[in-house]
Structure 1
């Protein structure tokens, strides 16, 4: 794509140079900004409306009649002030993460009975000077996100004040040129988004294939001609005739959980790693982003049961309850209560048990055995002890583990490649938007291909 013939200094460091016929102005001179006061409460005395809440703005690039908004209520005055109207831009203004503020969505058409909700800001541009769609695209670029992050208020929760939004420097360019940029970006992002959707669909198919392979191998074995018998468990169905259903507690030296209290943490060069649920993902232990406890506390915690290579760690809390990984290296560490610590006996391979926890059967057991506590569900250790496993011979366990190591490695690599492609496409998408809205490329003569 060609560039403009002549550029000039913008006067704004993070925008750099702009085309000669462009100018820069504060957003407040060409737009009105309002903060919604409509919350989630419903009152019978108020008007019943649809409400665009924070997640709706955060997750959708466009708000229109197809957006699944929640139902609430507002006063007539609030409706008149905060109704969703064509060409508005809605942005997130409060969040626990600085990365999540200033995220824009574009109102494609006026919604007759919908309003903007709390924690959101409405930007309505002067239509004679600024296109709402152009501002929406401008707010998507990284340099604007950085501006919002640097100028947000708060430490544990971040917020945008109205002055920060109003004082945002914005390119002022001819409306015809803005509309051409909008058309160009709509065309380009539609193509990129379609490619991303295909990659995401492929990942879902690969994940489903991976799950099916694990389910089949761990619960049915590798011999398709093996005689089968009922497992006695509806979720599990039939198992090979020579396999036994055995309680997990009979196949382990111990099943326990980590420290059930928040310890006093120390500096990393003074202590021992303290692993929690965030350090365990299916099949792997993430040895980063962990805290440290004193050597004295570590010795006390590990006096009876010291974690070692070959042990299994299983998450007890969070969205990934029941995710398991084998400790595959020798190093000193202790575990928090958010992890179940398992050591198998000579009848059960820890790697086979790891794959067992990845089966749909085990996931159902985890959901069934989850109890509420401390505001979130947690996997009860006693329930884990009573898990019934379809137990193959050790030789079969070894063969199944070898097969699954090979099969999942290939699938995981295909998933990784697709994820890398998505990252590159998103980076390309961001670059195109940034270059167009800041004048680094000239799209005035661009024409959409006739076959599209």
Structure 2
């Protein structure tokens, strides 16, 4: 245990310069590149990879606020005092860039403080808290030069600073990469969710005859669907705000009508609620009667059209809305839940309507022109049910990713704090390993993990009437090669029903019985179904690991409603494609389909047509179910060499 480090006020360690350079380009000034607030807030390092904004500055401003290598730039205002003084260190490649307003430059005195150590110290918990205490404001908080300079910084001897900075740089690099990778996963998840919704509500993922809708964002849809304007199947309404100047409209005892406003949009945007029932404010009958506000019935579908644009919800109770929302009261031809998912699929449309707009707004003439894919009511209900399940899968996966990010960030911050304050001598060498290794599952026996993967697949098919051994085997194969659960450890032969390992499947079923989860005995091949036993639904998912479990659930929910034949085609297409990547072959759609029909098994050409396979291959690409050339290669069961030679 080492003694805590001495503390020195920041003004004695570095020059503090608060920038006032704005974004306005003045022709009488020198053109410069500007380092703006977001360049600092979202990055740890200011370097040449940033696409700096163009600006202008006087010669004095360039001299005073031009960045130098080793400078640290901090944000000096925020909406909350706990999120202020976020630091980024300047790389040599960014020298000469000018620091813009809302930021301050700290120029370390290198004789007494190492720039890298100061950067890490600014990220430690006590220093962040000290900045928060000094932030001034009510609705927005800011730091003065005096406030910045008065913050005390832990300050060990210079050589110790340099040693700690090197260790933190090296040992936290992996943690930062993990956090960045998980954030990228979260973004990819959002993109996949958006594309999946569009495919499902437009019917593009359905087999059968298609016709062009005449609407760009919908594209082709089933031939028996229509594409009317929304206003032809639902009555469009908007909202209003009663005059704030009339006190009688806002008497607390009279304000009993729920009134959904931008203050409530977090329920849709952050919390992800499909149905909303609570509001921050209420209005009175008198206020509503003397304004354009209307009481909308439960079941009305609303959409935010200003500020936080493009977020839909369904009213769970009667309520009014502000002018920042538009609503649709559904007629007999459209279900509210289906319309809700249509609006969630229209994000690209909303974005296009805001391009070049000064204000983040979708205007009413554009909204009145919205058209939507319209299947029969029974198909709408089926699509909404399916998207409910997909939404649950995506949100479950997103929550797991965020939990991992939070855990990694909390432990990273603990490591930084312990190191720079000197409260724990072993903080850098031990706590870092704890932070990283805790983000991945502990090792579990292979058979146990494999059994739990099978139990999870069966459990998520519990309401599917026709689910058996063939589909389970296909999902076990995909869980290994696509999700990356290597403990499945199959040895997959190219059988008539797709990738198949009978020995592994027998062992899985034995494990399910021994664990009192499911019994698959009493049938043969595809006829096998799984009867729940005493502990069905209570299988241990911890051995799979949070991230892999989320990915597995996403995979299962993609194919859950598909029949065994479709699952067989998907798994076989995936296997041929993956094997080609492993073998280093040039991959094309035709080559993959030819590999299924000619190189897999003699029965494939009798079972499937090229058109069937093209349909499902396109579907796989749309939903992101595409291989990377990893995992086990399948084992040929027919004379494949002659055909393989022809395909190269």
Question: Which range, TM-score by smaller chain?
Answer: 0.7 to 0.9
1:241 lines up with 2:226 in the alignment: no
Partner of 2:620: none
1:256 lines up with 2:237 in the alignment: yes
1:32 lines up with 2:22 in the alignment: no
- Of 274, 287, 299 in structure 1, the residue corresponding to residue 259 of structure 2 is 274
Q: How far 1:357 sits from its partner (Å)?
A: 0.8
Partner of 1:11: none
Contact map agreement 2:350 2:362 (CA 8 A) in 1: yes
User: What are the equivalent positions in structure 2 for 1:307-326 lying under 5 Å apart?
Assistant: 307-321=296-310, 323-326=311-314
- Of 326, 330, 344 in structure 2, the residue corresponding to residue 358 of structure 1 is 344
Q: CA RMSD in A?
A: 3.1
- Of 50, 53, 74 in structure 2, the residue corresponding to residue 67 of structure 1 is 50
TM-score, L = length of structure 1: 0.83
Q: 1:409 to 1:238 in 2, by over 3 A?
A: same
What is the CA deviation profile of residues 206-238 of structure 1, one whole-angstrom value per residue up to 9, with x for unaligned ones? 2233223211221126641x2111212333222
User: What are the equivalent positions in structure 2 for 1:43-442 lying under 5 Å apart?
Assistant: 43-109=26-92, 111-220=94-203, 223-224=206-207, 226-252=208-234, 254-260=235-241, 263=244, 271-277=256-262, 278=265, 279-281=267-269, 284-285=274-275, 290-298=280-288, 306-321=295-310, 323-327=311-315, 329-330=316-317, 332-359=318-345, 362-367=346-351, 376-442=359-425
Q: How far 1:412 sits from its partner (Å)?
A: 1.7
Contact map agreement 1:177 1:444 (CA 8 A) in 2: no
Q: How far 1:443 sits from its partner (Å)?
A: 5.0
Q: How far 1:73 sits from its partner (Å)?
A: 3.1
Structure 2: segments with no counterpart, 5+ residues: 434-648
CA distance in 2, matches of 1:169, 1:306: 56
What is the CA deviation profile of residues 350-391 of structure 1, one whole-angstrom value per residue up to 9, with x for unaligned ones? 1111111122xx334445666999x62433344434322221
CA distance in 2, matches of 1:316, 1:444: 49
CA distance in 1, matches of 2:408, 2:60: 44
CA distance in 2, matches of 1:25, 1:244: 71
The answer to which of 133-142 and 362-371 deviates more is 362-371
Q: 1:37 to 1:215 in 2, by over 3 A?
A: closer
What is the CA deviation profile of residues 95-148 of structure 1, one whole-angstrom value per residue up to 9, with x for unaligned ones? 454344312111132744323222322212221211122121111133323322
Q: How far 1:283 sits from its partner (Å)?
A: 5.5
Q: 1:269 to 1:63 in 2, by over 3 A?
A: farther
Q: 1:431 to 1:269 in 2, by over 3 A?
A: farther
CA distance in 1, matches of 2:113, 2:254: 55
The answer to which of 22-31 and 255-264 deviates more is 255-264
Q: How far 1:32 sits from its partner (Å)?
A: 1.9
CA distance in 2, matches of 1:354, 1:377: 21
Contact map agreement 2:171 2:428 (CA 8 A) in 1: no
Give 3-state SS (helix, strand or coil) of 1:390's partner.
Answer: coil
Give 3-state SS (helix, strand or coil) of 1:123's partner.
Answer: strand
Q: 1:268 to 1:56 in 2, by over 3 A?
A: farther
Give 3-state SS (helix, strand or coil) of 2:48's partner.
Answer: coil
Contact map agreement 1:371 1:379 (CA 8 A) in 2: no
Q: 1:285 to 1:300 in 2, by over 3 A?
A: farther
**Structure index of larger Rg:** 2
Contact map agreement 2:258 2:278 (CA 8 A) in 1: no
Higher helix share: 2
How many residues align? The count is 423
TM-score, L = length of structure 2: 0.60
CA distance in 1, matches of 2:120, 2:185: 28
CA distance in 2, matches of 1:141, 1:444: 13
